[in-house]
Amino acid sequence: MINLLSIAKLPLDSWVTDGVNWLTKNLSGLFNAIQTGGSNTMDAVTNFLTAIPMPIFIITLALISWLLTPKKYGQPIFILLGLALIANQGLWSDLMQTLTLVLVASVISLVIGIPLGIWSSKSPKAYAVIKPILDFMQTMPAFVYLIPAVAFFGIGVVPGAFASIIFALPPVVNFTYLGLQQVPTSLVEAADSFGATTWQKLFKLELPNAKNTIIAGSKQTIMLALSMVVTASMIGAPGLGRGVLSAVQHADVGAGFVSGIALVILAIIVDRFVQRLNTEPVSAPKLPKWRKLTTWAMLAILLISGVVGSITATQSSGKKVTLGYVEWDSEVASTNVLAEAMRQHGYNVTITPLDNAVNWQSVANKQVDGTVSAWLPNTHKDLYAKYKNDVDLLGPNLKGVKLGFVVPDYMDVNSIADLTNQANKTITGIEPGAGEMKLAANTLKAYPNLSGWNLQESSSGAMTTALDKAYKAKQPIIVTGWSPHWMFNKYKLKYLADPKGTMGGQESINTVVRKNLKQTSPDVYKVMKKFHWTQSDMQTVMLDIQNGKTPTKAADDWISSHKSQVNAWFK
Amino acid sequence: MPKVQIKHLTKIFGKRQKAALKMVKENKSKNEIFEKTGSTVGVYDINLEVNEGEIFVIMGLSGSGKSTLIRLLNRLIEPTSGEIILDGKNITHYNKKEMLDIRRQKMSMVFQNFALFPHRTILENTEFGLEIQGVPAAERRQRAEKALENSQLLSFKDQYPSQLSGGMQQRVGLSRALTNDPDILLMDEAFSALDPLVRHEMQDELLDLQANVKKTIIFITHDLNEALRLGDRIAIMKDGQLQQIGTGEEILTNPANGYVENFVEDVDRSKVLNAETIMIPGFTINADTDGPNVALHRMSEEEVSGLVAVDANRKFAGYITSDAAVAARREKKNLRDVLTEMPTVTPDTLVADIMPIIYDAHTPVAVVDENQKLHGIIIRGAVIEALAQTEGDNND
């Protein structure tokens, strides 16, 4: 009997890490080329789609749908109303970005997947290798693909597409294989008996026969690519997914629902159009000629308007700046204020919401120009230690930050050391990647009275929702809190004293930029260096957002009432 | 020179072929070989010649290797050993490209389940063979349409196979094979999936066609009647081995061995011949519910001049002739009133005893049991054939 437990733990994780690092280092040229080429391609597609005037887009699409399905009015009307609703909610450009991601990921998946499926069906050896890999790809949680995607391609739309492709590839391969396997042997024999070559057999018999199965697989692939949109937005893929993700992090039911319903509408439309390809030859309705011609004409209108629109589109001028941030209420406020201020001074600013660790990594890899969301010295201590050689720390933009365990003031506990068994021995936390969660975990270890307590991971939005619920019911709750935060304006709360100081003392929020920003864009560097404001400033903007203003609107309002302070950043 | 020659052709499926071959030589049965070695003997040591322009029928029960044999001829299945000689050229070792040419120019195949391509129209199916040879569209269309016209299917050319009946589909399969204008037609149980009437029709058509085009046809069937109707020569197979080759007459008169003997006769002589063994299902009519019009309609439909009348409980009632039915229609009578007498026997009546009865009767003889339930009828020819065979036995 070998005692399995006596074998030392295999360092599997470090093997994988080393492998990915090796790939990143040795294939960086290739990855960068893919990243650049991919971004440019996808930007071009997005620009093209966005350039099509929205009404023309909606009406021609509805018309095409009606032309292809005579006597059926449900689908065109659905397209008309659904897309109009999306446009009305101001999600049109998000929709186009999502459509780009789905189109590119699906097309690449199909271009890779169908040949793989054919190869599998022709060669049992190939299938024996491909099948387990497919199973692995299909069952591995999609989030896992984001990690190497960021390592290889940084942030943005390309890693999103990469993760979507890996995630969406298996069904089309499997279904292609299945469809080709299911072609009756007698038909294959017949084709052979007439002296068909392998290729003739494939194109004249097998693929046409397996067509509907392959289309069913393609449909699944497209749907999976669509479902990855939300996941991919965690690493900076733009589009509707961002709205869903941000709504989750802010526990904003309404906004989440709106972005979600937009995705549903898109999914249904795509599904119906793909379904249209899936026909039986016998029952296929013969479309009258004028319908076919008009359909082509409509497609031509779409193309031409896209091309014309792209050419005449006002190229956004000004220096390009990209800022990374994390979807915490404080950072949404500060990043939007800085971005709006820079836009008003003629910069072309893109802001990308990211997970905290990815945000640091992106600055270190020069994927973004900088971020104003670095909480130091304690909260992001580990990340700073990891990346301090690759980033340029410009100093605080907001002083007097505090972190700690926060409780409603109706609870009679005042210090972390006095906690016994309140609130089911649970600390309600935020995103697992946040620096504060690390501090909270250390705190649980440092205080003997907290042994057996657990730290609940969620999101900043879910934490405030839980706090709101408990507060209204006068129930005990302990959350990981921080200031500046609007919750202190909304509820009566107090920090628990921290005699051991494990939740950090006084903190500040700092600006961190990429290593070579000073050389490449000295003016951006100067603005980033000068950007600073106060707790009360931030709290004003946060409350505005919390009370329903959009982040950009709240930022604009604050800027217009603090003109001289803002202008000082640009001097 | 024969068109096709086959020498020592053997096909073993599976891995341990040497062991299987050894056991075949020891005359072990197919099942035994499979259990011991895991290999299946498809065909073993086949030698035969097919002459130009003859219909050569290969018959045998299912599992006798006949379908394997026909697929060895155009090498859809690769032979284990032996030679296939076509027009004096050994094609056993032809490479892929050469084999493609043989299949495109010289041999075409017709399948039991038609094997039409469901996503192609009838015309596209018919021109398939020419299409893959790269024949220009106009020419192949013209040739395919001509083939369809010959089988009266031209008006269906834009339909899909699933919209056609079985018989029509098989005509398309045949047209598809003939469009290539091959020397040899391989037909693998081509008519077995059709109902008996259509089958009969197709057999006639094939014979008509053969009278015109004079192809070499290798035809596979498990039906002795079909083999006797179509075959210039017949080969009988069992467990992958040839038992006998000869004309229908030769096989009926001089069966090579016990297996063939049993195979070619519907009557098992170990039993004493009685009514049950030689009766055929009779065409019946219900005398209580059906009228003379229905009776006449059925007679013309079944191509007979009389029907056995039964009552609602399927009990035997009598015989109705066509004349009687016409009279009943004229005089507005029921069928019951115009029935004629019909001699009856029980299922276990011996043939020898039926002979005098049938000799005097103007109608077939009905076979009924003690409950007056009809089992079948006996016609003159069956009795005479049965008696002739028993006499033959006495001569052996």
Q: What own/partner pairs with CB < 8 Å and gap ≥ 24 does A135-141 have?
A: A135/A170, A137/A166, A137/A167, A137/A169, A137/A170, A138/A170, A138/A171
Q: Which residues on A lie below 8 Å from B113 (Cβ)?
A: 186
Interface of A with B in 258-287 (CB under 8 A): 281-282
β-pair type (A426-428, A454-456):
parallel
Task: Say what percent of chain B tops pLDDT 70.
Answer: 95
CATH 3.10.580.10 for domain B276-389, yes or no, is yes
A571 contacts: CB under 8 Å, gap ≥ 6: A530
Which of A242, A276, A311 corresponds to the end of one domain? A311
Classify residue B311 by its DSSP letter. -
Write the pLDDT tens digit of every residue in B127-182.
999 999 999 999 999 999 999 998 889 999 999 999 999 899 999 999 999 999 99
CA distance B314 to chain A (A): 44
Within-domain flag for A5:
no
* A197 and B CB contact within 8 Å: yes
Whether residue A141 is preceded by a cis peptide bond, meaning omega within 30 degrees of 0, is no
Within-domain flag for A33:
yes
Task: Return the pLDDT at B394.
Answer: 42
Residue in chain B nearest A210 by alpha carbon: B119
Within-domain flag for A36:
yes
Q: Are residues A251 and A196 in the same domain?
A: yes
Say whether pLDDT at B6 is over 60. Answer: yes
Within-domain flag for A212:
yes
Residue B259 — left, alpha, or beta (φ > 0 → left; ψ -120 to 50 → alpha)? alpha
Q: Do A193 and B162 touch (CB under 8 A)?
A: no
Question: Which parts of chain A have pLDDT scores under 50?
Answer: none
CB atoms under 10 Å from CB of A454, counted, come to 12
Average pLDDT for chain B: 86
The number of C-beta contacts closer than 8 angstroms across A and B is: 66
Q: What are the residue ranges of helices labelled H in chain B?
A: 17-25, 30-37, 66-73, 96-105, 122-126, 128-131, 137-150, 166-179, 196-213, 224-230, 248-253, 258-264, 275-278, 292-302, 322-330, 351-360, 380-395
CB A284 within 8 A of CB A212: no
CA distance A99 to A103: 6
Mean pLDDT within B34-49: 89
Measured in residues, chain B has a length of 396
B130, two tokens: 């020419």
A334 contacts: CB under 8 Å, gap ≥ 6: A325, A372, A373, A397, A398, A509, A533, A538, A541
CA distance B227 to B236: 10
Task: Return the pLDDT at A252.
Answer: 83
Within-domain flag for A18:
no
Q: Which residues on A lie below 8 Å from B116 (Cβ)?
A: 190
Task: Return the pLDDT at A237.
Answer: 86
Q: Are residues A283 and A379 in the same domain?
A: no
CA distance A204 to chain B (A): 9
CB B158 within 8 A of CB B127: no
3-state SS class at A428: strand
Min mean pLDDT across A21-25, A466-470, B2-6, B233-237 is at: A21-25
Ranges of each domain in chain B: 4-267, 276-389
Q: Are residues A399 and A333 in the same domain?
A: yes
Q: Are residues A255 and A147 in the same domain?
A: yes
Q: Are residues A84 and A179 in the same domain?
A: yes
Which of A311, A336, A362 corresponds to the end of one domain? A311
CA distance A205 to A198: 10
Q: Do A189 and B180 touch (CB under 8 A)?
A: no
Domain at A535, CATH number: 3.40.190.10
C-alpha pair distances (Å), A397 with each of A512, A534, B318: 10, 8, 114
A340 contacts: CB under 8 Å, gap ≥ 6: A552, A555, A556, A559
Which of A262, A289, A311 corresponds to the end of one domain? A311
Measured in residues, chain A has a length of 571
Q: Do A184 and B117 touch (CB under 8 A)?
A: no
Distance between the two ends of chain A, CA-based, in angstroms? Answer: 76
CB B192 within 8 A of CB B223: yes
| Total tally of structural domains belonging to chain A | 2
Q: Do A200 and B132 touch (CB under 8 A)?
A: yes
Residue in chain B nearest A212 by alpha carbon: B119
Q: Are residues A390 and A493 in the same domain?
A: yes
Q: Are residues A350 and A217 in the same domain?
A: no
CB A185 within 8 A of CB A230: no
Task: Return the pLDDT at A313.
Answer: 66
Average pLDDT for chain A: 88
Q: Which residues on B lie below 8 Å from A194 (Cβ)?
A: 103-104, 108-109, 128-129, 132, 180
Write the pLDDT tens digit of every residue in B314-328.
888 888 888 888 888
CA distance A113 to A107: 10
B51, two tokens: 């002459």
Residue in chain B nearest A283 by alpha carbon: B160
Within-domain flag for A423:
yes
B46 contacts: CB under 8 Å, gap ≥ 6: B6, B8, B9, B10, B69, B82, B241, B242
Amino acid identity at B134: G
CA distance A543 to A528: 24
Domain at A175, CATH number: 1.10.3720.10
Q: Are residues A84 and A175 in the same domain?
A: yes
CA distance A534 to A556: 17
Tell me which residue range forms the domain holding A180.
28-311
CA distance A276 to B270: 66
Q: Are residues A356 and A290 in the same domain?
A: no
Write the pLDDT tens digit of every residue in B54-65.
999 999 888 889
Mean pLDDT within B378-388: 75
Q: Are residues A357 and A442 in the same domain?
A: yes
H/E stretch holding A527? helix A522-530
Q: Are residues A364 and A262 in the same domain?
A: no
Mean pLDDT within B366-381: 84
Q: Do A193 and B163 touch (CB under 8 A)?
A: no
At residue B24 the predicted structure's pLDDT band, cuts being 50, 70 and 90, is: confident
CB atoms under 10 Å from CB of B83, counted, come to 15
C-alpha pair distances (Å), B219 with each of A193, B173, B265: 15, 14, 21
CA distance A555 to A540: 10
Within-domain flag for A6:
no
Residue in chain A nearest B112 by alpha carbon: A186
Q: Are residues A419 and A338 in the same domain?
A: yes
Whether residue B347 is preceded by a cis peptide bond, meaning omega within 30 degrees of 0, is no
Classify residue B257 by its DSSP letter. S
Fold of the domain built from segment(s) B4-267: Rossmann fold (3.40.50)
Within-domain flag for A21:
no
Q: Which of A509, A512, A539 is nearest to A525 (CA)?
A: A512
Write the pLDDT tens digit of every residue in B327-358.
888 888 888 888 888 888 888 777 777 777 88
C-alpha pair distances (Å), B323 with each of B296, B306, B326, B327, B338: 9, 9, 5, 6, 10
Say whether pLDDT at B396 is over 60. Answer: no
3-state secondary structure labels for all residues of A103-160: HHHHHHHHHHHHHHHHHHHHCHHHHHHHHHHHHHHHHCCHHHHHHHHHHHHCCCHHHH
CA distance B107 to B181: 9
Task: Return the pLDDT at B388.
Answer: 67
Task: Return the pLDDT at A250.
Answer: 79
Q: Do B117 and A209 touch (CB under 8 A)?
A: yes
Q: In b/e form, how buried is each residue of A458-496, taking b as 16+ CB within 10 angstroms? A: bbbbbbbbbbeebbeeeebbbbbbbbbbbbbeebebbbb
CA distance A269 to A222: 12
CA distance B356 to B368: 18
* A192 and B CB contact within 8 Å: yes
B8 contacts: CB under 8 Å, gap ≥ 6: B45, B46, B47, B81, B82, B83
3-state SS class at A445: helix
Q: For chain B, which residues lie within 8 Å of any Cβ of chain A, measuring from their own Cβ? A: 71, 74, 76, 99-104, 107-109, 111, 113, 115-120, 128-129, 131-133, 160, 162-163, 180, 186
